[in-house]
Amino acid sequence: MGTASAPTAPATEAELLRGQVLQITPEGSKANCRMSNGSTVVVSSFLGAHIRPGDEIEFPLTFSATSPGSEVYIRKTSARRRDVYQAPIGYAAQPKTDTRDKLYVRAQVSQGRLGISAIHLPCEVLRDHFYVAKRRQPWDQQPTLYDVLRLPPTASQAELRLGFKLRELELRAAGAPQSDLTAVERAFNIVGQPELRACYEALVSDASAPVLFPYGGFGSLIVLGDRSRDGQMFFAHQIVSFLPDRRPRRFRAPLRKLDFYNDHAVYRDARRKLDVLLDQAALPLVWDATWNRWKHLLPTKVEIQGTFVQAGKYRHHRGEWKLIQWETALPSRLAVKLPENIAEQLETARKTYDRFGQFSDALDRIRARIEREPVEREELKRLCWDLRIPGDFDIAQITWRPDYDEFFYRQLCRRTRRLYLFRGEYILELEAAIAVETPQLGHATYLFSKPRSMEEFLAVYIRATKEDIRRNRGNVAEKLGFLGRVVHGVNPRAWLRELTSKIGEHVDCADGGDEAEETTK
């Protein structure tokens, strides 16, 4: 998460380029502007299409005018034309009412150097750019976004995705222009996101309803309009273009971290600061809300690939407003890959959950003992047998918690001779060391030298806290042979390399596979 950054101080006269345009010469994706002072300014061809001889152009010398993320101001000398302003924007606030009872949204200018701190966007300007199929037609003559997708307004999330894919295939097969493909994708990215879909349906009922800036802003905006008298506000009359801050990402997401609803699921990752909305066409599994009861027993991960845009909202926290930023997946650019044995893993998790319910009293008795003292795996198996719990029951699941990460646990189990369960921890006797593991992000693996007696080690360990060990209170770290800890950081593969190094194993870079890192293109 992040907070709103302080505005950048306006540039001095020496840090600005300003002059009158004498001639515009298009050249591929760029346009050359010959200035009255004899210099030539190069801008993007898209921006150049809105510049005419006689216009005055201004931008900071530290910015590239050809970059879509740069700040450029074009003042029209003709009274009949609107000025042009290109700027990188941050958060676009929720709709508000001005002094004339007109709804508007205000977008912050990021790192502005021309003295403009915000862009004032009337809600109808946002409506006529983001929530329409044909931008050159008035609102009352627009086909609905559902018409564009050839779907009824009652379509489910999964039906919207299937309809979008079919419509896209039809247009490509027919050799349709890119503008038609773009309109279909824009339609799906609005109605395929529940909050924006609600906003659009309110507009269909009432064209003057409040309008959200999709995904909260964050990107490069080009608008036509007028600058305020004090120069600090730009009043937009039309949006020419908006390019959101976005990037492709690919990573593996644990199914246990999804929140399941009847018609969709949501994956939120606080570490990566992102969220993904999944329908049953994107994630081809038949689920319902009851999956939340036993999802923590799912060891499997799915591969998510998509285009993520920057998003954000202000939230009131501890007496002040803070801008919370994250990334969210565009519905149209989302793909999910399931592991081959997904059906088997789902069935195993369901059966395990049923067993937890069937043998709940017996398991509670075992947990009570684990809370008091470490219990070795073979002893736990005997206890389960005596309590008539089937022998194929996974002992590790007795104290497993929903936010535990199987990767850390599995890597240590590969190296384990004996395993003990104690409270929420796993105590593992390795070949050359003892590891105490809480397999959860934010925790750490504690390593100790191999003791002469495991029983003596455990007797000392259960009376000490982690802070006692780190601070060597009562000489407990020395008594236990504390070697150090390996923190579960952002990259599990780095954890694995450090772990194997500390316990004296050869580092195998292939160990850990593709579970460890995210790929960002």
Residue ranges covered by each domain of the chain: 7-131+218-244, 246-344, 359-520
Q: Cα(422)–Cα(420) distance, rounded to whole angstroms?
A: 6
**Looking at the domain that runs over 246-344, which CATH code has it been given?**
2.40.50
Q: Which residue has the tokens 């970059």?
A: 67
Q: pLDDT value at position 299?
A: 84
pLDDT in single tens digits along all 521 residues of the chain: 444 444 566 656 557 788 899 999 988 888 999 988 888 888 888 888 899 999 999 888 766 655 667 899 999 987 778 999 999 999 998 999 988 889 999 999 988 889 999 999 999 999 999 999 999 899 999 999 999 999 999 999 999 999 999 999 999 999 999 999 999 999 999 999 999 999 999 999 999 999 999 988 899 999 999 999 999 999 999 999 999 999 999 999 999 999 999 889 999 988 888 999 999 999 999 999 999 999 988 888 999 999 999 988 777 677 777 888 899 999 999 999 999 999 999 998 998 888 888 888 888 999 999 999 999 999 999 988 888 887 777 888 889 887 888 889 999 999 999 999 999 999 999 999 999 999 988 899 999 999 999 999 999 999 999 999 999 999 999 999 999 999 998 788 899 999 999 988 754 544 444 443 455 54
| Nearest C-alpha neighbor of 234 from the set 243, 222, 225 | 225
Q: pLDDT value at position 65?
A: 57
Q: pLDDT value at position 265?
A: 95
Q: Cα(430)–Cα(511) distance, rounded to whole angstroms?
A: 17
| Nearest C-alpha neighbor of 429 from the set 439, 420, 421 | 420
Helices within 295-403 (DSSP H only): 342-358, 360-372, 377-386
Secondary structure letter of residue 211 according to DSSP? -
Contact 75, 56 (CB under 8 A): yes
The beta strand positions in 245-364, using DSSP E, are 246-254, 258-260, 265-269, 274-278, 301-317, 320-329, 335-337
Q: Cα(88)–Cα(71) distance, rounded to whole angstroms?
A: 7
- Phi, then psi, of 161 in degrees rounded to 5: -65, -45
Q: Cα(223)–Cα(235) distance, rounded to whole angstroms?
A: 9
User: Is the alpha carbon torsion for 400, 401, 407, 409 positive or negative?
Assistant: negative
- How much is the CA Rg of the chain, to the nearest whole Å? 30
Contact 471, 481 (CB under 8 A): no
Q: pLDDT value at position 512?
A: 47
By CB neighbour count within 10 A (0-12 exposed, 13-18 middle, 19+ buried), where does 442 fall?
exposed
Beta strands 301-317 and 274-278 are: unpaired
What's CA 115's distance to the chain center, in Å? 32
401-406: long-range contacts at Cβ-Cβ below 8 A with a sequence spacing of 24 or more?
A: 401/296, 401/440, 402/256, 402/295, 402/296, 403/257, 403/296, 403/440, 403/441, 404/296, 404/438, 404/439, 404/440, 405/254, 405/439, 405/440, 405/441, 405/488, 405/492, 406/254, 406/299, 406/439
Q: Which residue has the tokens 């504390």?
A: 482
Q: If residue 19 lies in a helix (H) or strand (E), which one and from where to where?
A: strand 16-27
Q: pLDDT value at position 236?
A: 96
Q: pLDDT value at position 514?
A: 43
pTM for the model: 0.80
Contact 146, 152 (CB under 8 A): yes
Backbone dihedral region for residue 451 (phi beyond 0: left; psi -120 to 50: alpha; all else: beta): beta
In this structure, how many other beta carbons lie within 10 angstroms of the beta carbon of residue 467? 8
| Nearest C-alpha neighbor of 414 from the set 291, 302, 511 | 511
Q: Cα(215)–Cα(327) distance, rounded to whole angstroms?
A: 9
Q: pLDDT value at position 40?
A: 87
Half-sphere exposure of 335 (CA within 13 A, CB side): 9
Helices within 388-507 (DSSP H only): 406-413, 454-461, 466-471, 476-480, 492-502
